[in-house]
Amino acid sequence: MILLLVTAGVAYKGMARRWVIILWAVSLVAMLCMFKYHVTSKLHLNF
Amino acid sequence: MSSQVTVAEPIESHRWSTTAFWGMVAFILAYCFVLLGAFSIQFLQGEFPCPLCMVQRYAMILATIPIMWIVADSLRGTLTRSRYAQGLGMAIVASVAGSLESTRQILLHIANKKDPGYGSAVLGLHLYTWAWITFMTVILFCSVAVAMIGIAVPAAPKTARLRRIARCILWLFLALIVANVIAIFCLEGFSSVLPDDPSHYRLFQELGW
């Protein structure tokens, strides 16, 4: 969440485009890793 | 005989550019209301957000940051068409990730027929289902904005009062991220992850309050 705050601050301040994109991409990967960590059970569903 | 190369320039409309700007501001405001709604359920109704709920809040913030970037750049007068397209693309990617997370949580509670769902329902739907609806809305909204990129790139208003309103909404969004940082710190305490089924604020317990 702190990473998101830093990303938002950098975007608001209008710093270099690559920093906004790098921080945003790192935040996205961190979020997906956190999601993977919290998904512990297998769903018994048939599609 | 001379050969001429003509490049088709997009026909921009001032009215559409102003509409696009306020559309982006409305996007940020809408997610501010969603985050405030989540806070009201957390603090007024005393329900603790589960880790998957928090991850969906991250996705909402992650989808709103590129839009905030667009609005801030537009206010500075540095917004280009490519940067606008980039911001919309980033918002779509974050929303797709968020919708995967909410779909997973919806299916988790559908899989077990006796499962009443996590937390209380709002207007008949649980919060993770509402989250999924917001992510789908963002994907649709950004797709329409991309389709209209030829005629509308957000243009900030010239009036100081209107610019101040847009800036206040950006500050509200930033304040909500700060509030989320504090809320998650209170929930997690000194641990790096949230408990699976939170029932209290771990930080207060760890500090002996």
The tens digit of pLDDT for each residue in B33-54 reads 999 998 888 888 888 888 888 8
Query: Does residue B11 fall inside a structural domain?
Result: no
∠ CA B117-B118-B123, nearest 5°, is: 75
Closest CA to B24 of B150, B153, B132: B153
Query: Does residue B205 fall inside a structural domain?
Result: no
Answer yes or no: do B76 and A14 touch at CB < 8 A.
yes
Range of the domain at B137: 22-187
Q: How far apart are CA B100 and CA B56, in angstroms?
A: 9
B193 touches chain A (CB under 8 A): yes
Domain ranges of chain A: 2-38
Pick among B69, B99, B102, B174 to test the A interface (most A CBs inside 10 A): B69
Query: Does residue B15 fall inside a structural domain?
Result: no
Q: How far apart are CA B68 and CA B167, in angstroms?
A: 10
Phi, psi of B4, rounded to the nearest 5 degrees: -115, 135
| Contact residues, B window 60-79, toward A, CB-based 8 Å cutoff | 61-62, 65-66, 68-69, 72-73, 76, 78
Could you report the per-residue pLDDT of B87-141, keeping only the tens digit for each? 999 999 999 999 999 999 898 888 777 777 777 777 888 888 999 999 999 999 9
- Phi-psi domain of B80 (left: phi exceeds 0; alpha: psi -120 through 50; beta: other): beta
Q: What is the pTM of this model?
A: 0.87
pLDDT over 80 at B192, yes or no: no
The total number of structural domains that make up chain B: 1
∠ CA B57-B37-B164, nearest 5°, is: 90
How high is the pLDDT of residue B67?
95
Query: Does residue B12 fall inside a structural domain?
Result: no
- Averaged pLDDT for residues B177-189: 86
Answer yes or no: do A4 and B177 touch at CB < 8 A.
yes
Residue B40 makes CB contacts below 8 A (sequence gap 6+) with none
For residues B23 and B145, the answer to whether their CB atoms sit within 8 Å is yes
Query: Does residue B2 fall inside a structural domain?
Result: no
